[in-house]
Each structure stands twice: as structure tokens, then as C-alpha cells.
Amino acid sequence: MALETVRVQRVRTSAFRWEWLLLVLIAGTFFVNSRISPHFLRYTSLMSALSVFLEAGFMVLSMVFILVAGDIDVSVASIVALASVLMSLSYKAGLPMGLAMLVALGVGTGCGYLNGLLISRIPNLSAIIVTLAGFSLYRGIAYILLGDRAVGGFPSWYSYLAWGDIGGTGIPFILVAFLACALVYGLVLHRTSFGRKVFAIGTNRIAAVFSGIPVARIRHTLFTLNGLMAGVAAIFLTSKLGSSRPNVATGYELEVIAIAVLGGASPSGGKGSIAGACLALVLMRLLRYGMGLRNVPGQVMMVIIGIVLICVVMFPNLLAARKRRPAGS
């Protein structure tokens, strides 16, 4: 156990440096953006720019846990679609909106539970295979249920979740909800024994098993949690769109994973931080917002984001390679 504590300690300090790198990049982006567009620094625009992709941010939080444990989940966007469609349908069937939102959470949790069950209980079934199956399965069900139709007409208060701000301060409600969630996730990952066990599983799964960590149960919990967060994302996304369709959130899974990785989580496990993920989210938003203000075309934006992602992610690897070498590079 002593050895493991040392390892966790080291991981934590390296993650700390990573966050500084992200902060420098955010400051740089902020500076450049404010120079290239007179609109950038307007408070309301900044706030709405930060909350544009935030519904997916909820999934980034739980995805960090999944990545830290050395797993991956590509089914989240499809879970969002299914949860959103079922929530809308149950509202249309006469359920009060509050209960319909619980349906979304329940559907998300259920899908995540199923993913986790298969992954953790059946030996040698890899997470990528199971969640790839979930990727088609969940959205497929959503298509069967709704086909080409859209369901909408929610009560007007429901749009507050994605569009409202806190008592006229201009701070979006979704931003506050996200920060509260991030705080909880951050504390659990970095300050509890559960979090330490997640790191241990991702660092060396076999060693974790032999140290008496309930690996299967914890992995099962993490996937269930990821499903729950997909349900949360579905509630906010549906509120943003004002209606639901089976094709909502298309492609979100990759953006979620990309942001978690940009935030310092490693797909090979054992590394990652919630603060890093939040900073990565901010960096990505500021980049896209700045480029949007200059009307950079969509394809060019994709290329630039890709370049930024690869540059930032390879940075620590190059540093490590340099350190390992005796002299110079």
C-alpha cells in the first residue's frame, strides 16, 4: 500500500504542472482573442460562449473517472439521445416535467449500468467493444421510438435550465450547475479513498485486484455514473434545443473524450484530473469562440483544434523523453 501511495502522489504533482500549462494557453487565447475582436470581451457574450457546449461538460467529468481507471466509453452520446427521446415521450404521455426529467436520469443510469455490467462482470470483454455496441444500440432504439419526428412543447420554465441566468446577474444557471458538479467530482476523485482506488485500478489493474480493491464493482459504478451524467446532459441539451430528436448530440462522445484527454487524462489509465478537464473545457470554448468571432470556416476550425490537441497532448511526452535522455535533445 505504501508504494501505491507514493505513485498516487507523483501522479498528482504531474497533473498539477499540466494544469499550469493549460492556464498559460487559456491566458494566451484570451489575450489573442481580445486583440482580434472587439466583441470578445463583452460579458454576456463570454458567458454564453462558455455555456454553449456545457451540457457535454457534465459527461467530461465522469469520463475523466473512466479514463483514469483505464477504460473508455464511446456510447455516451447515444445514451444522451435515448434519454432525451424517452424523456420527451414520457412528458407527451402525460408525466409532469419533473418526473420526465427523472426518466432521463433513470434511462441514462440504466444504460450505463448495462454497459458496466457487461464490462466488469464478463471476463476479457473490453470497454471499447461493449460501448461501441451501446453506441449503435441506444441511438438505434431512439430512432425506432421516434423515427423522423421531433417531440417538443415543454413547459416554459424548462428552458430556464439551458438559457436562464441566476437572478439577473448574467451568470448562466448551467454554468453554476456544472461548477457544483465539478466540485463534487473533483473532491471524490482527488480527496477520497474511492478516488485513490480509481487511480490504482488505472495504474495497474492486476495489482489493484491483489491489493483487495473491488475492481469489478468500482468499474461497474464508474460506467453507471457515466450513464447518469449522460442523463443529466440529455436534460440540459433538450432544454437548449426545446425539442428532442433521435439525432441529438451526434459526435459528442469524441468531443467529450478529447476534452478529458486535453485536460490531462490518459486513455491508458492512471492519469487525469477534474481541474484539468475543466480548464480544457474553458480552453476549447475560448478557442472556438474566438475563431467564431472571426468567422473562421468550420473545416478550418476543425483542423486548428486538431493541431492544438496534438501539440498540447504530446508536450509532456516530449518533456519526459528529454528527461530520460542523458544530455540535450
Partner 1 sequence: MRKVLLVLCLVVLVSLALVSGVWAKGYTIGMLVKNVGNPFFEACARGGQEACEELGNNFIFQGPATPTVEGQIEIIENFIAQKVDAICVSANDFDALVPVLKKAMASGIKVISFDSAVNPEGRLVHVNQADAEQIGKLQVQAIAEMIGYEGEIAILSAAATMTNQNTWIRYMQEELKDPKYAKMRLAAIVYGDDLRDKSYNEAMGLFKSYPNLKGIISPTTVGVSAAAKAITDAGLIGKVKLTGLGLPSEMAEWVKNGACEAFFLWNPVDLGYLAAYVAGLLCEGTITGKEGETFKAGRLGEYTIRKSGDGGTEVLLGPPFRFDATNIDEWKDVF
Q: Please report, as ranges, the residues that interact with partner 1 according to CB under 8 A.
A: 24-25, 28-29, 32, 35-37, 39-40, 42, 45, 48-49, 52-53, 143, 147-148, 150, 152, 159, 162-163, 237, 240-243, 245, 247-252, 287-299, 301-302, 304, 307-308, 311-312, 315, 318-319, 322, 329
Which cell goes with 172?
448562466
- The minimum distance between CB 197 and partner 1, in angstroms, equals 34
- The minimum distance between CB 133 and partner 1, in angstroms, equals 21
Is the CB of 225 or the CB of 287 nearer to partner 1? 287
- The minimum distance between CB 214 and partner 1, in angstroms, equals 38
Do you know the residue count of the chain?
A: 329
Three-class secondary structure of residue 153 per DSSP: coil
> What stretches of the chain show up as alpha helix (H) in DSSP?
2-36, 43-51, 54-68, 76-92, 97-121, 127-146, 160-163, 173-191, 193-203, 205-210, 215-241, 252-262, 274-293, 298-324
Which cell goes with 124?
476479457
Is the CB of 153 or the CB of 210 nearer to partner 1? 153
Is the CB of 159 or the CB of 266 nearer to partner 1? 159
- The minimum distance between CB 72 and partner 1, in angstroms, equals 22
In which region does residue 165 sit, left (phi positive, over 0), alpha (psi from -120 to 50) or beta (all else)?
beta
Indicate the DSSP class of residue 135: H
Is the CB of 39 or the CB of 121 nearer to partner 1? 39
Is the CB of 122 or the CB of 148 nearer to partner 1? 148
Which cell goes with 115?
454497459
18 neighbors 276 (Cβ within 8 angstroms): yes
- The minimum distance between CB 248 and partner 1, in angstroms, equals 7
